[in-house]
Structures are given as structure tokens and as C-alpha cells.
Chain A
Amino acid sequence: MSHDLPFKVKKSFTIVVLLLVSVVSSLAQDRLTFTGSFQGGANWFLEDEEIGAANTPQYDDELVGVEAWLDLAFQYKGYKLGLRGDFFRNTNLLNPNGAYSDEGLGRWYLSKTIDKFELQAGHIYDQIGSGLIFRAYEERPLLIDNALIGGRVKYTPWPNVEAKIMAGKQKNLFGQYESLIRGGQVEGSFQLGKDKKWNLIPGFGVLNRSWSDGQVDDLISSLKTYTPQDSIGAYFHNWSFSAYNTLSYGPISFYVEGAFKTQDVYFDPDAERALYGGGSTLGRFANDDGSIYYGALTYGAKGFSFSLSGRRTKNFAYRADPFASLNRGLVNYLPPMSRLNSARLKARYTPAARDISEKALQLELRYTFNKRLKMVQYFSHISELDGTILYREFDNELTFRKDRFLQVSGGIQVQNYNQELYEGKTGVPLIRTVVPYFEVQKRLKKRQSIRIQAQYMLSDQDFGSWLFALAEFNVAPHWSFSFSDMYNVKAKKTDDLHYPRADVTYNFKTYRFSLSYLKQVEGVVCAGGICRLEPAFSGFRFSTFSTF
């Protein structure tokens, strides 16, 4: 549940900015520093019913969706003041099928450092440990802004030890969730041994989330309709704890973290629930404690390096509101246990982290045979705790650098992807793909270079097989042009359609402008028992980013 800021508060942002500009002018002689950034994006929707780019408000009526963020930061005599204006007009970031419009003060903060203390009030981005129990962060492409609206005190008694406590409520668009979040962390950094080659960075964090009366009343309204055998208790308070440590010695680094959550009511979309009318359905509130164990080992030496990480997650759905779902109201952050592929077809099936039942292991091996030849091998294996396969990936990539003008790389990726569980598509088989890929980068002459990329996805499931090709021409330091096409070779769901894309990017000092024309294939994504269609896109896309 959210509370919108008063209309006047939103509108007063412009006045505040103007006042601050005048303050900046008057205080310039007192070494006031002023920095800022601007990020903007616009989509121009062009209906294309053949690929399914149709029937959203943008295609029907609105035609253009816009989003923009203006960040301003001021520093003066130890004080820091930050303001951010957010603007959304018919954007599809919040709901891919809807148009969201609003504007106002998206963030403000004021901080001051006094001796060993740093005090901050306002919107805070922070995390405890690696974020397993708490992370307040922003992810603009998904319109995630989980800032903590409240206060934080950091205390640094010694240079190598820092403690912090914070309290507040999680931001929800221009409002906030009702629950109260309080937490703290102590972290140190120590060097051990005679030659101080052993480094330890231990830490401990704790978090308390208290639901409001209204949230508990709403929850009870739901729970009291359950049959006696499914009845569970409800609590105002929940506690979570995290202990972690990084141990490094020479080329070896080992990070380990354990997180524990006390009994907490969360919605389990796969839990069976009895109905009064007989029979059962899937999806009910559960009340369990939860745990996460995470470890990462890295080794780096000349010619060879590797990183190995694993995580086990059980009942760790953690929300600021018991009814929040999808990517809303997330208190913590679980990064996916597979690497983010940038190549279009290699990234087509990407597994999201699952917070109720998951065990995952990934390994990356990097070999440098000589100055010219490198190889990367990657393995990932993700399953549910009962052993049900969720995702497997193997990738082997070779890079050959002939000279400073020519570099060639290529490899093969093999994937298994459980579409049934990741996307909620019942009865579909495990998707098996084999993706051979190839890339050439060549410097043509001074400041000019070209990049050619080709990928082929061999699959008998879902949409079938795909062919992707890209050509990119760069004129440093300002211009980049690219054209690509994704073609459904052996189409199983639609006609054998093309999905072309053309991009022009211009960089000038700290300004970046990009204009694209693209057609993007649709896909259904289901999480937490909720299906969400990421619709096909057809149209122009403009984006810009600048700092000043």
C-alpha cells in the first residue's frame, strides 16, 4: 500500500531547483560544488500486429512514452544535498502493457560528516553484506527504486572499522510502503600475518521489518479465509541476520555469507491450498523461516584465473508488503547465478534468481596461452532444492588477437532452460539450445573500426531456431552505427519473421545520445505465480545520458 506525496510537493520540485540555483550562485565564492546528471529515454511505438506489437495504450492512443531523471548534488562545508526529479509520461517501464504517468521529487537527501560520524536523512541507497538480507537500490530499466526513506548514521571508530544503523520505509514509486525497516551492520578490515598478506574483511548485519497495523489487518483478512489445515500465524515483526567474511591471500580470495530469516509470512505460488468447496488450488501464504548460504572463490594468476561460486536459497522471499509481487517491494537482492550474456541469442534465455527454492553453482575458467590466444570456459548449474533442473549452461570461447588491428573470437554455448518453471508455461519441455557464435573486430584506419557478429541458435523448442547477425561501424570518439537482424529460421510459433534493429550513437564529452529503430520478439515471463507478457516492441527508441 502506498501513500502518494501531496500534489504540491511534486510541483514544488521546480521551485526548489530554481532556489538552489540561486543559492549556488550566491555561494559560489565559498567553494560550493555542484554536480549532476541527466538520463532520458523515449519510445515511439509503431504498431506491428504481425509480431504482436499492438493492443497496448501506447500503440492504440499514446504513441510515445517518455521517462527522465535529473540528478543534482551540492556540497558545501561538509554538507551534501541531493535532489532528483523523476518524470514519466505514458512509459511502459512499470507495466509493459500499460502507460504510467507521474512526476515529482524522486529522491532527496541531506548528509553531514561530523568527526567520525556521517549523518544522512532522506532517500538512502545502501546494503548489508552482499544484499542478501537488505539492499536499497535503483534499477531504472525495470523502474525499480527501492530507496529507504529515513535516516542513517555511520560511525567509523577506527579507519578499518565501520558501523552503521538505519531506519525508514521503502520507497514505492512516489509513495512508500507502510512497513518500517530498521537495520545495522558492523564491518572491519584486518591484515594478518607477519608480512600482512592475509586480509580479512568480516561483517555482521541485522535487519528488522515491522509491518503496519493496516498491513497486518489486510493480511489477516486473507488468512482468515483459509481452511483450518492451511491456517498460519501472522506477525508484526521479522528479523534477519547476515554474517559474512572475505578472506584473501595473494591471488586467492574467498567470500562466504550466511543469512537467516526468522518466521515470516510470504506468498508461495507453488504451495497447495485446500478449498472449502472441495479440491485445492496452488498459491497461498506460508509462514516459515528462511536461509541463504553463499560462497565465492576466486583465483587470479598469470596465465590462469578462475571464479567459483555457489548459493543455496530456502524460503527467502522478503518483501516490504505481504501482497507485493513481481519486482515490487523487494527488501533484499538475489543476483542471478548465471552470467549476464551480452550477445543477443546467448542472452535469450536468462534465468532469474528464485527466492523460495534454489541451489546454484557456477564456474568460470580463464586461460591466457600467450599474448594472442585466450580461452574462457563457463559452467552454470541451477536446480530447485529437490533436484529439479532449472538451468544449465556451458560456454567455451576462444579469442585470437592477430595484432592490434584484428581480433577474432568465437565459441559455442549449450543451454538447458526450464521454461515451465521460469515462465510458468505448463507442459512445455525443457528448452535445449546450442549457440555457435563468431565475432570479428577490425581497425580499418585511424579512429575507424568495424565489428561483425554472427550467432545461430539451434533449438526444437519454444520459437525454434534463430539466426542473428550484426554489423557495427565505429568512428572514434563520437559515432557508432550498427545494424542487426534476428531471424526465426525454423519458426514454430509464428511465420518466419525478421526482427531488424538499427542504432546510431553519438558521444560528445560527457554526453551520450542514442537513436534506434527496432523490432523485438515477445516473451511471457511468469514469476511468483504471476504471468507477465513482455510484449513485442516495434518502433523508435531514443536515449540520452549526460553528466555535468
Chain B
Amino acid sequence: MSRSLIIAGVLFLLVASCTKKQPQYQLVRPSAGDRVVLVEEFSGALCPNCPQGTAELESLKELYGDQLIILTIHAGDFAFKFEDSKYDFATTAGDELLDLLGNPLGYPSGVVNRKPEGAQDGYQQFASRWSSSIANSIADSATIGIDQEISFDADTRQLEVTVNILPLEASDRSLRLTVAIKEDKIVDPQADRAAAGGVVKEYVHKNVLREVLTLAEGDLLEGPISAFSNITKTYRFTLPPEDGWWKAQNCHVVSFVTFESSEDALGEVLQATESPISE
């Protein structure tokens, strides 16, 4: 009898325990942080209106801080040297980016996060539109996290960039990663319609695209993409010797992830990051 009671008691306890609610909890997941917006600004040393565009972007940078990354690409109709220019800012990668993003109707022109919204034709937008498009893009939530680790040897000028990408959502689409180097504080002549004589001889160029370490359209990260599955890529590059430019302390690495472009549309920039090469 007592054995029966014990067995019944154990069964009761087991059944009773089965009716207890399973505890619920939320996984702590990494955040992609704030949405960072990339503006690919097309400019040229001979473009008299371009300093106005640059000033507009600099003003917006004051407002948005790290949430805005500016990459100034010297390519197109005005990307030529003055007779007394020391540097030629045009690059092969810049020309390839212009081919990728399309010739603008005029200069200055810029592409905001590679979104067609507000563009005159294709993806290029005139300066009057940038602040509106940037504000709209910043309001988007980030679906990908990206950070980069920079290692730079000042003696050998060897640069190593390790980019970590963390998708927060699964996707069937492939991604592309672009890693570029830009440089500030390059002093060289620049056409400027607001300047006496039309040219500023010692104009301080900022955010100038110097090199792209990946393909110009970005290296392919083939889909499908799994959520929370980290992707790491490493790139190495030796900075050319300093000759008034290529100063490591003025250089930054910009990395950004886009969707793979389709036949009809460019892949939108999903997230971007920027880090100095040398503090």
C-alpha cells in the first residue's frame, strides 16, 4: 500500500511539474549601432561649384558626426589638374566608381547610400538635395553591423585592415564589401567661384579617395547570408612613400557593405564605418 502511495505521489509530482510554465528569456543579441550614411561626392579640381558642395557636406558632418561618412571622388568632367597643380586626384578606382554610379547631370554631385530617392536621374543628386536624403537614410535602421581593426607599421608603411561584418538578418541576396583609403589635408589648387580670381591656390582638400583595396564595386560576399554569422575579411596594402601626400596620419580607412547590385538597380549601402590609419 505504502509503495503504491509512493508511486502515485511521484507520478503526481511528475505530472504537476509538467504543467509548470517553461521559463522564457530573450537572447542578448549584438546591435548594429546607429545607421551610418555614406556620401560618395563627385568632384574635380577644375570644378568651380564643387567647394560649395564640399562646404555643404562639412556643415552636415558637424550635425551628424560619426553617422556621416564622406568620400570625395575626383572623377568626371572636372577631374583634371591645373598647370600648377602638384597632385592628380583622379584615380582608376574613382573612374570605375563613376562608371558604376553613373555620370551626373552636373557637378558637384553625390550619391547618398546608393539610393535612388530624390535623384535627378539614376543615383546622382545635386547638393541641394543631400541634406534631405542624408536625414532620410539616417532614420533607417541598421541591419548589418560592421567594424574594422587597423594595424599600421609606420616603418614599413604596411597597413592591415580586418573587417568584421555581422548580419542581423538572414538574406538570400549576396553582399559586397568595399574598403577604401581616403586622405585629408592635401593642399593643392582648386577652382572656386566664390574666390577672387576663381581659384584657391592653397585649397585644403579633404576626404579625397586615394585607393580602393577591394574591387571598385566591392568584393562579393556570396549569399545566402545567415543572421548573426560573422564574416571576416582581411586586406593588406603598403602606403606609397610620402611626397606631400600619402601621410598616414591624414589617412582613413572607409569600409562599407552593400547588397549585390541587380540588373536594374544598384545595391544600397547597408552600413559603413571609418577609422584613422594612424592616430
Contacts and interface: CB of A to CB of B under 8 A. Distances in A.
A95 B102 CA distance: 10
Nearest to B76: A97
B132 A323 contact: yes
Contacts, number: 129
A530 B55 contact: no
Contacts of A356: none
B47 interface: yes
Given A222-B128, A283-B128, A277 B58 contact: yes
B8 interface: no
B121 A100 contact: yes
A276 interface: yes
B126 interface: yes
A281 B198 contact: no
Interface string B38-61: 000000000111011001101111
Interface in B67-90: 76-78
B198 A427 contact: yes
Contact of B63 (A56, A94, A97, A225): A225
A98 interface: yes
A385 to B, nearest CB: 20
B131 interface: yes
Contacts of B191: 426
Contacts of A219: 132
A276 B49 contact: no
A500 interface: no
B200 to A, nearest CB: 10
Interface in B151-172: none
Contact of A57 (B47, B103, B106): B103
Contact of A531 (B55, B63, B106, B195): B106
A225 B131 contact: yes
Contacts of A342: none
Interface of B: 47-49, 51-52, 55-56, 58-63, 76-78, 102-107, 117-118, 120-122, 126-129, 131-132, 135-136, 191-199
Give the residue among B47, B52, B77 with the most A Cβ atoms within 10 A: B77
A276 B192 CA distance: 20
Contact of A424 (B49, B122, B127): B49
Give 6 nearest A-B pairs by CB, closest first: A427-B198, A426-B198, A530-B106, A281-B55, A221-B132, A97-B103
A424 B50 CA distance: 11
B238 to A, nearest CB: 30
A281 B103 CA distance: 25
A175 to B, nearest CB: 12
B106 A277 contact: no
Given A524-B77, A532-B105, 15 more contacts: A97-B76, A221-B136, A224-B135, A267-B128, A277-B59, A323-B128, A325-B106, A424-B193, A426-B191, A426-B197, A427-B197, A531-B47, A531-B106, A531-B107, A535-B77
Interface residues of A, number: 44
A25 B162 CA distance: 71
Contacts of B195: 426
A529 interface: yes
Interface string A518-548: 0000001010011111010000000000000
A138 interface: no
Given A218-B118, A328-B120, A277 B62 contact: yes
Contacts of A468: none
A276 B63 contact: yes
A95 B148 CA distance: 38
A420 B49 CA distance: 12
6 contacts: A57-B103, A225-B131, A276-B59, A276-B63, A323-B132, A529-B52
B136 A428 contact: no
B27 to A, nearest CB: 36
Interface in A79-107: 94-95, 97-98, 100
Interface in A216-274: 218-219, 221-222, 224-225, 267, 269
A529 B49 contact: yes
Contact of B78 (A269, A280, A427, A531): A531
A280 B61 CA distance: 15
Contact of B52 (A276, A282, A532): A282
Nearest to A328: B120
Main secondary structure of the interface of A (DSSP, over half): loop
B59 A427 contact: no
Nearest to B56: A281
A326 interface: yes
Interface in A278-319: 279-283, 285
A95 B107 CA distance: 12
A56 B105 CA distance: 12
A95 B49 contact: no
Give the one of A424, A426, A428 with max B CB within 10 A.
A426
Contacts of A529: 49, 52, 127-128
Contacts of B102: 98
Contacts of A279: 55
Given A529-B52, A531-B49, A323 B126 contact: yes
A218 to B, nearest CB: 4
A94 B126 CA distance: 15
Contacts of B55: 275, 279-281
Given A218-B132, A225-B63, A276-B63, A530 B197 contact: no
B137 to A, nearest CB: 10
Nearest to B136: A221
Contact of B106 (A56, A224, A526): A526
A425 interface: yes
A426 B127 contact: no
Contacts of B48: 424-426, 526, 531
Interface in A489-541: 524, 526, 529-533, 535
Task: Select the residue from B47, B103, B128 with max chain A CB neighbours within 10 A.
Answer: B128
B192 A1 contact: no
Contacts of A285: 128
Contacts of A281: 51-52, 55-56, 59, 194
A283 B103 contact: no
Contact of B49 (A1, A323, A530): A530
A97 to B, nearest CB: 4
B118 A323 contact: yes
A97 B103 CA distance: 6
A481 B103 CA distance: 36
Nearest to A99: B103
Contacts of B78: 531
B108 to A, nearest CB: 8
Contacts of A98: 102-105, 121-122
A283 B52 contact: yes
B128 A427 contact: no
Nearest to B58: A277
Contact of A323 (B51, B129, B196): B129
A326 B106 contact: yes
B198 A428 contact: yes
A461 B155 CA distance: 52
Contacts of B132: 218-219, 221-222, 323
A246 B193 CA distance: 42
A36 B82 CA distance: 53
Contacts of A225: 59-60, 63, 131, 135
B106 A275 contact: no
Contacts of B61: 277
A4 to B, nearest CB: 11
